Amino acid sequence: MIGSPIWHPFTQHGLKEPIPQIVSAQGAILQTSDGKEVIDAISSWWVTTHGHTHPRIAAAIAEQAHKLDQIIFAGWTHEPAQMVADELCALMPDRLTRVFFSDSGSTSVEVALKMALGYWINTGEPRHRIVVMDNGYHGDTIGAMSVGARGVFNKAYQPLLFDVTTIPFPHRDGEQATFDALEAACRQGAAAFIVEPLVLGAGGMLMYTVETLAEMHRICAAHGTLFIADEVMTGWGRTGTLFACEQAGIAPDILCLSKGLTGGSIPLAVTMASEPVYQAHYGPDRSTMFFHSSSYTANPLACAAAAANLAIWREEPVLARIAELSMRQAGHLDDLADVAGVANPRQMGTITAFDVGEGGYLSDLAPTMLAMFRERGVLLRPLGNTVYVMPPYCITAEQLAQVYRVIEDVVQQLARG
């Protein structure tokens, strides 16, 4: 065997691109095996919120490792899981009363879809149709792929995917087409509508308005269609508030959370459900219970990390840090908007994005820009021809300024050919 046996995700090893080895990290800085420092400008795929190796979270994991590392969660429980569940319920709208643990964003979506379909079966009114938004992305397991945009991500697996009803993305001044399509689908008895609130992440950091989110929720509620908010990426402050749904004043029937749930330190996910969804699975009949689990459901180490993360949100001025970062992002984006080659600059909270040239996810610009950013000591991973910046909230003003200096240098070099 030549080289490493590791098969990396979303990596075409046939291109023989270098894969740097990271040996340590702190705050917003990654350290490579050859002694270079790299600024993590995308929070290591959107997960790291307070910074790498945060001392409170690391200490909580270490302490828990000496108490209880793993226990079956079917019919058993433990204190860290109870702490996380209680704190989440305290943070959420009163409507979200139940917490189901899983392991990743994709599985939190799978759980949400199964909850929604189980709700309709168990209440005696079978509904099977799921409504999705064009350009959406909800993960890479089969159900999550089925409710995501069809294309290069899942072309090979098309025979495995179930049919969905797709409504158009609500582009500015085109929202009514989205509302009309959603209304029509709901009138036909849709079981649920799943959407990324305010920002479609992997679909190209596409952003829409708070008013649009509120209206889509209203349409679903009017027809009894369950509203599933996938806040795997948008949650934990990314859009400027703790959760994106807050800005629209809505409470979904089902909510998916992961990524920043542990501050980005260790995998964990939850799917929160309203009481009617839970009650549809509750009773003396074992055949109506919720049939989903994994071996590591509510792993105590992961729950300890999540509990520490929730304590940071409760005790430290995280929202103030987010507001300051959002303001700095806005300033840098304004400056970048004047650079030749930058198109459609946009921002939602701590997230900024813009487009360079043309092309979809397989645009040759993506690996070119990725390599140029890497050579300049910045971790940015363009989505095709879309460049976005989503740093951890601890990034310093100078580190953020350096990220944008590198971006401007790269865009100008590309413009020169």
Listing DSSP states for 39-52 in one string gives: EETTHHHHT-SS-B
Give a yes or no: residue 242 inside a domain: yes
pTM: 0.97
Last residue of a domain, one of 288, 315, 342: 315
What is residue 359's predicted lDDT score, i.e. its pLDDT? Answer: 78
Q: Residue 339: CB partners within 8 Å, gap ≥ 6?
A: 408, 411, 412
Give a yes or no: residue 1 inside a domain: no
| Residues 200, 183 share a domain | yes
Give a yes or no: residue 285 inside a domain: yes
Lowest-confidence pick of 2-6, 73-77, 168-172: 2-6
Q: What percentage of the chain exceeds 90 in pLDDT? A: 96
What is the domain range of residue 328? Answer: 18-47+317-415
| Residues 241, 107 share a domain | yes
Q: CB–CB of 102/161 below 8 Å?
A: no
Give a yes or no: residue 357 inside a domain: yes
What is residue 87's predicted lDDT score, i.e. its pLDDT? Answer: 98
Helix axis angle, 300-315 to 55-65, nearest 10°: 150
* pLDDT tens for each residue of 229-282: 999 999 999 999 999 999 999 999 999 999 999 999 999 999 999 999 999 999
Q: Which of 306, 277, 275, 314 is nearest to 94 (CA)?
A: 275
Tell me, what amino acid is at 249? G
| Residues 325, 404 share a domain | yes
What is residue 334's predicted lDDT score, i.e. its pLDDT? Answer: 98
What is residue 2's predicted lDDT score, i.e. its pLDDT? Answer: 63
Last residue of a domain, one of 315, 344, 359: 315
| Residues 189, 265 share a domain | yes
Give a yes or no: residue 12 inside a domain: no
What's the CA gap between 171 and 356, in Å, rounded? Answer: 19
What is residue 86's predicted lDDT score, i.e. its pLDDT? Answer: 98
* pLDDT tens for each residue of 339-375: 999 999 999 999 999 999 887 788 889 999 999 999 9
Last residue of a domain, one of 263, 291, 315: 315
| Residues 139, 40 share a domain | no
pLDDT value at 8 more than 80 = yes
| Residues 194, 88 share a domain | yes
> Ramachandran region of residue 340, left (φ > 0), alpha (ψ -120 to 50) or beta?
beta
Q: 271 - beta bridge partners?
A: 100, 256
* pLDDT tens for each residue of 28-43: 999 999 999 999 999 9
Q: CB–CB of 228/216 below 8 Å?
A: no
CA distances from residue 154 to 15, 113, 117, 142, 231 in whole angstroms, order as listed: 21, 18, 23, 9, 22
* pLDDT tens for each residue of 75-126: 999 999 999 999 999 999 999 999 999 999 999 999 999 999 999 999 999 9
What is residue 3's predicted lDDT score, i.e. its pLDDT? Answer: 80
| Residues 339, 199 share a domain | no
Q: CB–CB of 197/245 below 8 Å?
A: yes
Rounded to the nearest angstrom, the gap between the alpha carbon of residue 89 and the centroid of all alpha carbons in its chain is: 20
- What is the CATH classification number for the domain harbouring 111? 3.40.640.10
Burial of 25 (0-12, 13-18, 19+ CB in 10 A): middle
Give a yes or no: residue 8 inside a domain: no
Burial of 194 (0-12, 13-18, 19+ CB in 10 A): buried
Q: 347 - beta bridge partners?
A: 352
Average pLDDT over residues 206-228: 98
Give a yes or no: residue 7 inside a domain: no
Average pLDDT over residues 41-67: 98
| Residues 357, 243 share a domain | no
| Residues 332, 198 share a domain | no
Q: Which of 239, 310, 300 is nearest to 268 (CA)?
A: 300
What is residue 222's predicted lDDT score, i.e. its pLDDT? Answer: 98
What is residue 152's predicted lDDT score, i.e. its pLDDT? Answer: 85
| Residues 330, 246 share a domain | no
| Residues 380, 239 share a domain | no
Structural domain total, the chain: 2
What is residue 1's predicted lDDT score, i.e. its pLDDT? Answer: 43
Q: How many CB atoms neighbour CB 75 within 10 A?
A: 5
What's the CA gap between 324 and 315, in Å, rounded? Answer: 18
Q: Chain-wide mean pLDDT for the chain?
A: 97
Residue 120, phi then psi, degrees to nearest 5: -70, -35
- What is the CATH classification number for the domain harbouring 375? 3.90.1150.10
| Residues 298, 321 share a domain | no
Give a yes or no: residue 13 inside a domain: no
